[in-house]
Structure 1
Amino acid sequence: MFVLGIESSCDETGVALVEAGERGLPRLAAHALHSQIAMHQAYGGVVPELASRDHIRRVLPLAESVFAQAGQRLSDVDVVAYTRGPGLAGALLVGAGVACALGAALGRPVLGVHHLEGHLLSPFLSADPPEFPFVALLVSGGHTQLMRVDGVGRYELLGETIDDAAGEAFDKSAKLLGLPYPGGPWLAKLAEAGDPAAFKLPRPLLHSGDLDFSFAGLKTAVLTQAKKLGDELASRKSDLAASTQAAIVEVLLKKSIGAIEQTGLDRLVVAGGVGANRSLREQLDAACARRGVRVHYPELHLCTDNGAMIAMAGAMRLQSGIQRPTERYAFDVKPRWPLASLNAEPEPA
């Protein structure tokens, strides 16, 4: 069974083909990705209308590239999976529309996939896939969540952000420092040359006794410190970047370890764009090794939004039998869609 996956939730257009049998993990046959970073940099952030238009231009050429890489034909597709939400409404509609049009043209069923479930299951595409159950740290864009994962579609929310997410804290702090869009990777690179103890920045909710997150106060503290530095900011920018990263990473680290201790599980999955941060990976690896906990990450090139994770999530849902694809080609999207809601009964086919 071949599952074609289409991702268009924000500013990356991703297409991938996954092959799945009745048993064993699905196999990635090929994937292609286009990032809109260069287009949005001039505006300092994602412009939704431009993102949607660019998805329209990119998705079919990317699909052609995927089939060429895999040595397969469009007619070989058995199911077309697409990102149904959450994300930008217009961008989601592009992927959903293309997927349902392909399904109707081919006479193949379609399957709407949760974007965060795609990230959650993306480590199963790696050379060292996890096993259920595990704790998952989801750090993707505007989402920072800790989940207990007992199987496909069996998710328990342990904690989440009550305001800004970790990715937003990286990006907004980077913007305050005058760094280009997207700011998170630029801030992390700048932090390599700085002193993480140079500035005493807050670690919101670090000792709250629960597993929730809050990063809005940290962003405000970075702004305050930048103003205090004034003309010195240019020479101290790397120190402030390093101190900001250290604060974010410490909170993610302590809350993740807290989730491991609370659940008693010995596996941690880290997924989403922030999961590519080198400092976070190093500190999580060290802390978990001391506790005998295995840590799993997606491959670095699959940390960002991509079609492979959507095809994989769709294939795993089909394999598990918890959802069937539908041949109804009228579609909708869910710009806001809680991941924990997937524990409910799937919609009828």
Structure 2
Amino acid sequence: MKYSIGEMKDTIEENKNRDKEIILMAIETSCDETSVAIVKNGREVLSNQIYSQIDIHQQFGGVVPEVASRNHLEKIPHIIEAALEESKVSYEDLDGIAVTYGPGLVGALLVGLSTAKAIAYGLHIPLIGVHHIDGHIAANYIEDPHLEPPFVCLVASGGHSHLVYVKDYGEYEVLGRTRDDAAGEAFDKIARALKLGYPGGPLIDQKAKEGNSHAIEFPRSYLEGDSYDFSFSGLKSSVLNYLNSCKMKGKEIVVEDVAASFQQAVVEVLANKTIKAALEKKVDKVCLAGGVAANSALRRAMKDLAGKNGLELGYPSPILCTDNAAMIGAAGYYQYRQGNLKDLYLNAVPNLPLILKKNIG
């Protein structure tokens, strides 16, 4: 049976005309979570199965790409079956399949992508390629059924720190991005230096609650005056230099104070730039996304600043902040509606840029 994007688009138009409920399977394997979800109409999650490899990679202090890929390959058939069983949906009920094709670890991406292409071909249903960051942004649509663009979204995770103006569904203007270490990456590295373990974000957040965020004055890097980019490598170096200096001088290191002061330095920059961008774009809503969006200090700071400036704040539940397939299904739904489909030659793109426009396949 030939896979034809033209035929797929005709089917999509028919479904839209009939106002049919759209059920998508979604697959996310960009890093170390193997996740499969069943999502209806982009916002109703019927199942969101997530297999985390954290326990496997903790002994290495970070994700080992080859190990992650092999575990995806082993687990994905079982995660698919679990998602279908929980949702009470069969393969025949699916209207399309959405899958992350970048950015991420290339081997990990290929496992999910190959699986999705096989299902799309076998069932003769549309294949929707989803940008990982598009998925993180779309997690907010699941959390808040009434949320609609435009808004400004801060996407902060282990590999990404993006400040995005969401003009419409799948239509973005990237205002700023990290120039070196992403926020989550900085959390992981400082947690490792403090011997807290992996992943660093939740562990730093936990320790910081017991510390004094004003105990140590670490630098805040705002870069050029009009820049919305982020840079955390200088902050990371400052923390490491502080720790080395304390060791050389025999000075006690209060881990809780270091964690709290470091976290405060990251949070202030993220929150201030996000609110500044929202005011410049004249939107009334700001959202958070990505693993760092679960950080309690960031949520408090954003809530405070947003309230002072008359802005609404939204952020996903913790389970939707980390990598998951439900967010890919949400993003994929709006691309499905717009006819943004991919053919079976779609490849994994580990450094895929976030340049998405409406009505471009």
TM (normalized to structure 1)?
Answer: 0.93
Match of 2:306 among 288, 292, 308: 288
Q: How many angstroms does 1:198 deviate by?
A: 0.7
Deviates more, 1:5-14 or 1:135-144: 135-144
Matches within 5 A, 1:131-210: 131-205=148-222, 208-210=225-227
Q: Name the counterpart of 2:119.
A: 102
Match of 2:57 among 28, 37, 40: 40
- Conserved in 2, the CA contact under 8 Å of 1:147 and 1:157? yes
Q: How many angstroms does 1:96 deviate by?
A: 0.4
Q: Name the counterpart of 2:360.
A: 346
Q: Name the counterpart of 1:10.
A: 31
Q: Name the counterpart of 1:302.
A: 320
Q: Which SS does the other structure have where 2:60 is aligned?
A: coil
Q: Name the counterpart of 1:330.
A: 345
- Conserved in 2, the CA contact under 8 Å of 1:17 and 1:311? yes
Change (3 A) 1:344 1:77: closer
Q: How many angstroms does 1:130 deviate by?
A: 2.1
Cα distance in structure 2, aligned partners of 1:226 and 1:64: 48
Change (3 A) 1:266 1:334: same
Matches within 5 A, 1:52-67: 52-67=69-84
Cα distance in structure 1, aligned partners of 2:139 and 2:320: 7
- Conserved in 1, the CA contact under 8 Å of 2:43 and 2:145? no
- Conserved in 1, the CA contact under 8 Å of 2:171 and 2:358? no
Cα distance in structure 2, aligned partners of 1:43 and 1:13: 19
Q: Name the counterpart of 2:142.
A: 125
Q: How many angstroms does 1:331 deviate by?
A: 3.0
Say whether 1:269 aligns with 2:287: yes
- Conserved in 1, the CA contact under 8 Å of 2:32 and 2:68? yes
Q: How many angstroms does 1:148 deviate by?
A: 0.9
- Conserved in 1, the CA contact under 8 Å of 2:99 and 2:116? yes
Q: How many angstroms does 1:129 deviate by?
A: 4.4
Q: Name the counterpart of 1:318.
A: 336
Cα distance in structure 1, aligned partners of 2:53 and 2:257: 30
Aligned length: 339
CA offset digits 1:206-256 (Å, max 9, x no partner): 673321111000000010011122186765011000000000001001111
Cα distance in structure 2, aligned partners of 1:131 and 1:333: 29
CA offset digits 1:46-100 (Å, max 9, x no partner): 0000000101111111111111111111221111111010000000000000111
Cα distance in structure 1, aligned partners of 2:171 and 2:29: 25
Cα distance in structure 2, aligned partners of 1:185 and 1:76: 38
Matches within 5 A, 1:193-272: 193-205=210-222, 208-230=225-247, 235-272=253-290
Cα distance in structure 2, aligned partners of 1:205 and 1:213: 7
Partner letter of residue 336 of structure 1? Answer: N
Q: Which runs of 5+ in 1 are unaligned?
A: none
TM (normalized to structure 2)?
Answer: 0.90
Cα distance in structure 2, aligned partners of 1:225 and 1:34: 37
Deviates more, 1:111-120 or 1:57-66: 57-66
Q: How many angstroms does 1:133 deviate by?
A: 0.6
Q: Which SS does the other structure have where 1:113 is aligned?
A: strand
Deviates more, 1:303-312 or 1:126-135: 126-135
CA offset digits 1:97-141 (Å, max 9, x no partner): 011111122222211110100001111001464221101111122
Partner letter of residue 202 of structure 1? Answer: P
